[in-house]
Amino acid sequence: MEESKLIVIAIGGNSLIEDSKHVTVKSQYEAARKTASHIVRLVRSGHRVVIAHGNGPQVGFILLRAEFAKSILHSVPLDSCVADTQGAIGYQLQMALYNEFAKEGLSPQVVTVVTQVEVDPRDPSFLKPTKPIGSFMSKEDADNHRLNDGWDVVEDAGRGYRRVVASPKPISIVELGTVKTLVDHNVIVIAAGGGGIPVVRHPDGTLEGLEAVIDKDLAAALMAKELKADLFVISTAVEKVCLNYGKPSQKELDTIGLKECQTYVDEGHFAPGSMLPKILAMMDFVKTTGHVGLITNPENIWAALYEGKGTKIVP
């Protein structure tokens, strides 16, 4: 890691909301600041950085506010929710990075790019939406949304009803050229937040937003591949990827080859709603580029590069 590298970092929800008791905007900024301090160490070491982030809880807050205000205000389309959170979270990360750089006497430029991500309208996820969003509802509210708003709603293990939407695979980053230009001019870029705003491209070349959610790690992996990044880092809640997570037989993994990684996936070691999408996104990046990927928690982002922390996925 002596030479300058282009690093794409996908930061997860714990980088923005540390726990259920710290969800206010002020608390989210403090969480962003802590993550920013670790990213600053990478930039100080000479690396260029592009940051992607999650937005699940924040979108949930917007939808809940809209639900409470439905008698006096229009509903907010899901693509607009993603755009809103890209701006708000980008602002927090920009300020956090600016302030952390100021402590070091540095002043690099940081910018957020509101990013559209193209998906295939024929993606099979549109035929059977499964991604839960928003809060729980009563059966009455669920039936009302299903009838009047066209929502897909499912009952969730006796806890109530939730809206589900499609989660299509990303196929291209619309603003990729803008991101490349900024990176080439040594600007730190925050892009593809929340997996990007899902859009489809019509035959005439125009774009249209969709009520869908793109997996943040898959979108970040696509961006890392298209930017020809030297390294892809996924920041999550644990320092290392584990087998038998949470059990007495738990085993931390230091380095995993692609073949070994696929075996663990096939054996069902990684939870579908948690580590599995991160592993699949990382495998895609490593297989396509031949470069190394890292999975670790925010406080070990720098140490994963220089001190052997985290889990490396290698070709």
Per-residue pLDDT tens listing for the chain (315 residues): 457 899 999 998 656 787 778 789 999 999 999 999 999 999 999 999 999 999 988 998 999 898 889 889 988 999 999 999 999 999 999 999 999 999 999 999 999 999 999 999 999 999 999 998 888 889 998 999 899 888 999 998 778 899 999 999 999 999 999 999 999 999 999 999 999 999 999 999 999 999 999 999 999 999 999 999 999 999 998 999 999 888 888 999 999 999 999 999 999 999 887 899 999 999 999 999 999 999 999 999 999 999 989 999 999
Residues 291, 175 within the same domain: yes
Beta-carbon count within 10 A of 144 CB: 14
* Domains of the chain: total: 2
Residues 230, 260 within the same domain: yes
pLDDT at position 177 is 98
Residue 210: inside a domain, yes or no? no
Residues 13, 44 within the same domain: yes
Instruction: Tell me phi and psi for residue 233, to 5 degrees.
Output: -120, 130
Residues 72, 190 within the same domain: yes
Residue 88: inside a domain, yes or no? yes
Residues 82, 153 within the same domain: no
Selecting among 13, 60, 160, 209, the annotated active-site residue is: 13
Selecting among 56, 131, 193, 312, the annotated active-site residue is: 131
Tokens of 127: 């035929």
If 0-12 CB within 10 Å is exposed, 13-18 middle and 19+ buried, where does residue 100 land?
buried
Residue 206: inside a domain, yes or no? no
Nearest Cα to Cα of residue 195 among 119, 301, 282:
119
- Are 66 and 85 in contact by the 8 Å Cβ rule? The answer is no
Domain containing residue 195: 6-120+169-199+216-310
If 0-12 CB within 10 Å is exposed, 13-18 middle and 19+ buried, where does residue 267 land?
exposed
Selecting among 5, 14, 60, 180, the annotated active-site residue is: 14
pLDDT at position 14 is 59
Taking the C-alpha atoms of residue 249 and residue 256, their distance in angstroms, rounded to an integer, is: 18
Three-state DSSP class for 91? Answer: helix
Task: Tell me, yes or no, if 13 is annotated catalytic.
Answer: yes
Question: What is the DSSP code string of 256-304?
Answer: EEHHHHHHHHHTT-S-TTTHHHHHHHHHHHHHHH---EEEE-GGGHHHH
Residues 135, 182 within the same domain: no
pLDDT at position 2 is 55
Task: Tell me, yes or no, if 131 is annotated catalytic.
Answer: yes
CATH number at residue 277: 3.40.1160.10
Residue 36: inside a domain, yes or no? yes
Residue 50: inside a domain, yes or no? yes
Taking the C-alpha atoms of residue 111 and residue 109, their distance in angstroms, rounded to an integer, is: 7
Nearest Cα to Cα of residue 5 among 36, 44, 52, 46:
46
**Predicted TM-score of the model (pTM):** 0.93
- Are 62 and 85 in contact by the 8 Å Cβ rule? The answer is yes
Residue 203 DSSP symbol: T
Residues 174, 253 within the same domain: yes
Residues 98, 220 within the same domain: yes
Task: Tell me, yes or no, if 216 is annotated catalytic.
Answer: yes
Taking the C-alpha atoms of residue 188 and residue 129, their distance in angstroms, rounded to an integer, is: 35
Residues 181, 144 within the same domain: no
Selecting among 55, 196, 216, 310, the annotated active-site residue is: 216
Task: Tell me, yes or no, if 180 is annotated catalytic.
Answer: no
Task: Tell me, yes or no, if 278 is annotated catalytic.
Answer: yes
pLDDT at position 22 is 79
Selecting among 278, 297, 309, 310, the annotated active-site residue is: 278
